[in-house]
Amino acid sequence: MRQMPVELPCPIPYVLAMDHSNYPNDYIRGILNSVKTIALVGASANSARPSWIVTKYLLERGYDVIPVNPGLAGGELLGKTVYGSLAEVPGPIDMVEIFRNSEAAGPITDEALALAPLPKVIWMQLSVRNEEAAAKAEAKGIKVVMDRCPKIEFGRLSGEISWQGVNSRMLSSKKPVLSGKGFQKLGLNRP
Amino acid sequence: MSDRLPGFNTLAIHAGAAPDAATGARATPIYQTTSFVFDDVDHAASLFGLQAFGNIYSRIGNPTCSVLEERVAALEGGTAALAVASGHAAEFLTFHTLLQPGDEFIAARKLYGGSINQFNHAYKNFGWNVVWADSDDPSSFEAAITPRTKAIFVESIANPGGVIVDLQAIAAIAKKHRIPFIVDNTMASPYLIRPFEHGADIIVHSATKFLGGHGNSVGGLIVDGGSFNFAGDDRYPMLSKPRPEYGGMVLGETFGNFGFAIACRVLGLRDLGPALSPFNAFLILNGIETLPLRMQRHSDNALAVAEHLANHSKVSWVSYPGLRSDRYHNLAKQYCPKGAGAVFTFGLKDGYEAGVKLVSNLKLFSHLANIGDTRSLVIHPASTTHRQLTDEQKTQAGAGPEVVRLSIGLEDTDDLIEDLNQALDAA
């Protein structure tokens, strides 16, 4: 019997396998330079919590941070309306920042993958890792960052974190770039 | 620059130091100012609340000092560092962050005499109890562990010189019992030994010695290895409990793998106050730029002088691990293959009187109580630093009547040897 031609599946977007234990600086910088709207899942109203601090820091750096937390839905956080889930956020989301534990990152990633349009980036906070969720997102062409803090990464790439004696692992013979008014904010794009 | 980790020489010159954002000044400016203007009221609130990176007041942080901090963190391979007024202040803030009244820590018996005093006397006022162990016998550390043990402390190369500590053996014990392992790396400097690579969790330095290296500035550093997870560990409430000073923030959680360095800064340095002057930070930074060159020369010179003394008729023994016959030579080959440092002791056949005479006869060596200078230094501990002790105590401390300690500088070894020869002949 003649073999039927095999139908090939649709080509999936080709994504270079990312080494999630060692992100190149340019990869992180590229993400922080390209995203504008960040949905922060696990936002907190407690100003001592890291998620509150990161929300405030990113808002001050010009990102449109949208807090997501079912317990605070409908309220305001740092002047921004809080939504109960990613699906409820009006308008497209560039980056989903997951401020929950590694297990919860699975279903949150699923929610993110159900959005239309899809987010460009899924970022899991420092200590949050979910390889399965990352693989699913990457298969759809979404960039993934795990176990990193966007505030620390911004501070590291800009040079701000050096003021705290933190090892930025960055060397440059070029001046840091002042950003905004005053002297205590630095920009991401130091040569 | 690519993401490849730069080499040690490059880091010694560049880490932490970019051209000044406001002026383009290439050398690190001395920010000789007490305070820094806030961009606005909200910015001030963010800084005080530890929500933004930045400068407030030079007791808590200063941009010249922070270059030094990042430089040393990079050289040691740590996550962050804190510059303070002296090596003693570095030890003080480290223990203040780890210990509560009634707690214990285990320290090697062979230490800088100043640290022995600090631990035995000053710390008693805080209810911090030192338990001594023998760094030549790592099992003595394990035997000393109790439920109140909060830290283990050793020097990588121990004062008064000639002792190499088996860091990996002690680190294994510390790790097994989940106790932070603190290494004072002053005598080795990160050029000779990088203790984080051997299991240390925290490193302290007297930057006064080899980091600064020119005998002009007192300073200290605390380096966080980022390897000890304090978050959720009830034994370390400074890091694991909500801090009322900061609206209930948990420092070990908020600052992740550099939380220890931040806690030393925002709880220790802020409230206890031993801040480093930016001028001293500048001089120490200048020194560090040549650390790799100097440390190699110090070690090479020390070996040449030690070899000469070992064959001298008036010398009974030389304790320098760089010598093939030395009991610590194998440990030196393992931990510091580039050299065994600048400082060592030797014994005079004619005892106490010969020691006193030698010190006064030397013309190039300076008689003073420091180490790690470009200049060669000498001290006769029995007649100076250890004078108050009984003869038995002196011997136990490695400071018997016949003992002389040298810190070999960067001069020509021919000149150092000639000076020692003439002084020994006359002694």
- A126 has a chain B CB within 8 A of its CB: yes
Interchain proximity B10–A24, CB inside 8 Å = no
**pLDDT in the model for residue A9:** 47
Judge whether A1 lies within some domain: no
Cα-based distances in Å from A42 to A73, A96, A100, B293, B379? 11, 11, 6, 51, 62
Q: Which of A117-131, B105-119, B168-182, B230-244 has the lowest mean pLDDT?
A: B105-119
Judge whether A18 lies within some domain: no
Q: Considering only the beta carbons, identify the residue of B1, B24, B65 that sits closest to A175.
A: B24
- A174 has a chain B CB within 8 A of its CB: yes
| Predicted confidence (pLDDT) at residue B5 exceeds the cutoff of 60 | yes
Judge whether A42 lies within some domain: yes
Q: Considering only the beta carbons, identify the residue of B37, B246, B261 that sits closest to A165.
A: B261
**pLDDT in the model for residue A142:** 97
**pLDDT in the model for residue B80:** 98
Q: What is the average pLDDT score of chain B?
A: 95
- CB within 8 Å of chain B, chain A residues 78-97: none
Substitution target from A101, A166, A179 for chain B, most B beta carbons within 10 A: A166
- Specify the DSSP class assigned to residue A112: H
ipTM: 0.92
- B22 has a chain A CB within 8 A of its CB: yes
pTM higher than the cut 0.90: yes
**Of A168 and B161, the one with more pLDDT:** A168
Judge whether A179 lies within some domain: no
**pLDDT in the model for residue A12:** 46
**pLDDT in the model for residue A16:** 54
Interchain proximity A177–B22, CB inside 8 Å = no
**pLDDT in the model for residue A13:** 43
The residue in chain A having the minimum alpha-carbon distance to the alpha carbon of residue B225 is A167
Sorting pLDDT into bands at 50, 70 and 90, what band is B276?
Answer: very high
**Which residues, 6+ apart, have CB-to-CB distance to B307 below 8 Å?**
B323
CB contact burial B85-114 (16+ within 10 A = b; e otherwise): bbbbbbbbbbbbbbbeeebbbbbbbbbbbb
Structural contact between residues B103 and B148, judged by C-beta atoms closer than 8 angstroms: yes
Sorting pLDDT into bands at 50, 70 and 90, what band is B2?
Answer: low
Interchain proximity A159–B18, CB inside 8 Å = yes
What's the CA gap between A113 and A133, in Å, rounded? 10
What's the CA gap between B86 and B226, in Å, rounded? 22
Neighbours of A143 (CB within 10 A): 20
Q: Considering only the beta carbons, identify the residue of B11, B55, B247 that sits closest to A184.
A: B55
Could you list the residue range(s) of the whole structural domain that residue A64 is in?
25-150
CB contact burial A9-39 (16+ within 10 A = b; e otherwise): eeeeeeeeebebeebebebbbebbeebebbb
Tokens 């380096």, located at residue:
B223
Structural domains of chain B, with CATH: 8-288 (3.40.640.10), 291-426 (3.90.1150.10)
Contacts of A154 in chain B (CB under 8 A): none
- Specify the DSSP class assigned to residue B268: I
**Any idea what the CATH number is for the domain that residue A31 is in?**
3.40.50.720
Per residue in B42-52, pLDDT (tens digit) is 899 999 989 99
Judge whether A34 lies within some domain: yes
Average pLDDT over residues B236-248: 96
Judge whether A139 lies within some domain: yes
- B48 has a chain A CB within 8 A of its CB: no
Judge whether A173 lies within some domain: no
Interchain proximity B54–A184, CB inside 8 Å = yes
- CB within 8 Å of chain B, chain A residues 137-156: 149, 152, 155
Interchain proximity B21–A177, CB inside 8 Å = yes
Judge whether A6 lies within some domain: no
- Specify the DSSP class assigned to residue B358: H
Q: In angstroms, what separates the C-alpha of A142 from chain B's closest C-alpha?
A: 23
Q: Which of A4-18, B19-33, B333-347 has the lowest mean pLDDT?
A: A4-18
What's the CA gap between A94 and A149, in Å, rounded? 17
Share of chain B above pLDDT 70, in %: 100
pLDDT in tens, chain A (191 residues): 444 445 444 444 444 568 898 899 999 999 999 999 999 999 999 999 999 999 999 999 999 999 999 999 999 999 999 999 999 999 999 999 999 999 999 999 999 999 999 999 999 999 999 999 999 999 999 999 999 999 999 999 999 999 999 999 999 999 998 887 778 889 998 87
User: Is the omega angle on the peptide bond into residue B274 within 30 degrees of 0, that is, cis?
Assistant: no
Residue type, B315: V
Average pLDDT over residues B229-236: 95
**pLDDT in the model for residue A1:** 45
- The total number of structural domains in chain A stands at 1
